[in-house]
Amino acid sequence: MVPRSRAFSGWINFLLFVLLEGLSLYLIVAFNDSQHRIYRHSVGFFSEMVNSRIETFKGYFALEEENAALMEENARLRTALIQLGAMKENDASGPVLSSRSGGRLKLVGARIINQTISRRNNFLTLDKGRQTGIRENQGVIGDRGIVGITRSVGPDFTVVMSIFHSQTKISARIRDKGYFGSLRWNQSGDVRYMTLEDIPRHVPIRVGDWVESSGYSTLFPGGMSLGRVAEVRLPPGSGTYELKVKLFQDMTKIGHAWVVTTFKRPGTDSLTMQRDSL
């Protein structure tokens, strides 16, 4: 008789083999210290891996929430930053702001959900509205400069007049020199540059000078960096410069903006009232 010598002939035999192998593995892990630790470690490692995968996956669903939270936090931090800047400014130039308290400032973060930059009068739409405290004629800033001014506010959306709008005029000054003028878009279609006008010709201006918000407005806090002078032009017969300013803020890839919902410099109210009554 010649038996066929096949490994694991018959599935019952194979099952018994596997069962006993499993039993010996179980015994090894259950009763041997070092193997038990290695097993625990490996299992821990594996479950860790699975868990982190799951967390990553869940993370995608939480991104929206996360984003909102981050934006809120950003708004708070930005507020603190600007207030800090304003306080420093007060120290440096007393007369500009009479009080050292800096003033109140509150920002509301919003996502830009629509924007035009190619027209003569450009607008943006924000995904926050009246419910978050946004009103008409409030300043909108981006992370590297000014974005525009709110025009019409709905319950959930806000339309913003972009800085690339023929009627937008931003009060700006040359940093460390104090001379101020108004920044406007010359409608050339180039959204990288704006023009700073009304700086008198006797002021020494160099290419590369920093341009910042002047703070002479109730819309924007002062001292926010806006851009650098890229070209100095003095039109013949004119008493003021025409400065080409390269903006820090790239409006073509901006995703978020902050609305300055509360901005009161000390004394502003009374001054405005005086002006209005004049």
Instruction: Report if residue 7 touches other proteins, rule: CB under 8 A.
Output: yes
Amino acid at 119: R
Q: In this chain, which of 28, 68, 70, 92 binds other proteins, going by CB under 8 A?
A: 28
> For other proteins, which is the closer residue by CB, 16 or 49?
16
Give the span between the Cα atoms of 128 and 134, in whole angstroms.
8
The region of 25-33, 111-119, 139-147, 217-225 touching other proteins under the rule CB under 8 A is 25-33
Give whichever of 42 and 152 is closer to other proteins, judged by the CB atom: 42
Axis crossing angle, helix 11-31 with helix 33-92, rounded to the nearest 10: 60
Residue 16 binds to other proteins (criterion: CB under 8 A): yes
Sign of CA dihedral 69, 158, 256, 82: negative
152 contact partners, CB below 8 Å, separation of at least 6: 136, 158, 159
Interaction between residue 30 and other proteins (CB under 8 A): yes
- Please spell the DSSP secondary structure of 104-133, one letter per residue: EEEEEEEEEEEE--SSSS-EEEES--GGGT
Binding to other proteins by residue 8, rule CB under 8 A?
yes
Using CB atoms within 10 A of its CB, is residue 253 exposed (0-12), middle (13-18) or buried (19+)? exposed
Span of 17-25, 166-174, 179-187, 223-231 interacting with other proteins by CB under 8 A: 17-25
Interacting span for other proteins (CB under 8 A) from 38-46, 151-159, 247-255, 259-267: 38-46
Distance CA 59, CA 52 (A): 10
Instruction: Determine if 38 is a binding residue for other proteins (CB under 8 A).
Output: yes
CB of 26 to other proteins, least distance (A): 7
Pairing of strands 180-184, 225-233: unpaired
Q: Give the one residue of 40, 42, 67, 207 binding other proteins; rule: CB under 8 A.
A: 42
> How many residues bind other proteins, per CB under 8 A?
30
Pairing of strands 210-213, 225-233: antiparallel
| 24 binds other proteins, rule: CB under 8 A | yes
* Contact positions vs other proteins (CB under 8 A): 1-3, 5-10, 12-13, 16-17, 20-21, 23-32, 34-35, 38-39, 42
